[in-house]
Amino acid sequence: MSVRALIVDPSASESVRLAEVPEPVAGAGQVLVEVHHASLNHGDLNDARSGRVPPGAVLGSDAAGVVVRAAEDGTGPAVGTRVVALTSGAFAERAAVDVGALAPVPDPVDLAVAAALPVAGLAALRSLRAAGLAAGKRVLVTGASGGVGRFAVQLAAHAGAHVIASVGSAARGAGLAEAGADEVLIGLAGLDRPVDIVIDNVGGPQLVEAWALLAPGGSAQSVGWTSGQPAVFPPYATIGPAKSLTSFVNEGEFGPDLGVLVQRVAEGTLAAQIGWRGSWERVAEAAGVLRGRRVNGKAVLDIGTIGTIGTTGTQS
């Protein structure tokens, strides 16, 4: 049996196109998920262009849908369970998913919202945790208008931190104050008091500026590098009282923290701000707006025929 999927094709627009592929086979410790929604990440686009996901392979990382075949070893959720997952091959009508890489989605949470969570939500949650997030800390989030940034702002604000959201323009900052940001800045202009934590999504010169603002004992987490520019530290910028710049990557078992994120959504303390939504047939358009810094929050793809209800629908 075959399923439709978005596969890597270097000759296609954004190096991705719809194709028929063999239905994935769930191996040991895996369930088969009927994918209803997925979200698009910079990492997916980089994977398609760099060859990390090879030509012909199914692209995608963030998926939400329904289990249609349980794991043969009896682990994981039963058939019919709504789940969210961080998995390779997410952009397909069906995906084989490790039971440790998914979490059940509580009833009140829309699957399209759940699909927005994995890569960006885990990066926000885990980088803040690694940085020692606590009430009263001053947290700077760069690229706060994007997927990781909007989750990080909300999570830090909910923890009682003082949150400074840095964006590229006033329009890009829309909704961030409501999401919990105490200050919304264009770039880092006007920020003259030190911060305890930096969640950096931008890299380049902004990372150098953010480093200079980091207080002794502080932690800067290098999550992303959307600027694509080099970071040039002036002489002696790294000399002084101890503070750290740490590399970050989503790795390990994702299920438990995905459970934390969907629970927060169910409780109403975390919202997925979906700035673009449409059929997966419009993936090239989604990639263009994401790259063009025109998505406030997440871009969500409705997969197959199940979710093709236009850009404003909420059904899943």
Nearer of residues 105 and 223 to ligand NAP, judged by Cβ: 223
Evaluate the CA torsion angle 142, 148, 153, 155 in order and state its sign.
negative
- Member of 202, 231, 274, 300 binding ligand NAP (CB under 6 A): 202
| Radius of gyration for the chain, computed over Cα atoms and rounded to the nearest angstrom | 19
Query: Helices 118-130 & 147-158, crossing angle to 10 degrees?
Result: 50
Site pattern 29..48 for ligand NAP (x: CB under 6 A): ------------xxx-----
Site pattern 150..179 for ligand NAP (x: CB under 6 A): -----------------xx---x-------
Q: In 3D, which of 128, 119, 136 has the Cα closest to residue 155?
A: 128
Which residue shows structure tokens 């606590």? 134
Instruction: Tell me which amino acid residue 253 is.
Output: E
Interface with ligand NAP: number of residues (CB under 6 A): 28
- Report the SS3 class of residue 108: coil
Site for ligand NAP in 239-278 (CB under 6 A): 248-250
Minimum distance of ligand NAP from residue 145's CB (angstroms): 4
d(CA 66, CA 137): 39
Minimum distance of ligand NAP from residue 7's CB (angstroms): 21
Query: Helices 42-50 & 283-291, crossing angle to 10 degrees?
Result: 110
d(CA 261, CA 154): 11
Minimum distance of ligand NAP from residue 64's CB (angstroms): 17
Site pattern 96..135 for ligand NAP (x: CB under 6 A): -----------------------xx--x------------
Based on the shown chain and the rule CB under 6 A, indicate whether residue 89 belongs to the binding site for ligand NAP. Answer: no
Sheet with 138-142: list strands edge to edge.
183-186, 162-167, 138-142, 195-200, 214-222, 244-247
Minimum distance of ligand NAP from residue 274's CB (angstroms): 11
Residues at the contact surface with ligand NAP, assessed by CB under 6 A: 41-43, 119-120, 123, 143, 145-149, 167-168, 172, 201-202, 223-227, 248-250, 290, 293, 295
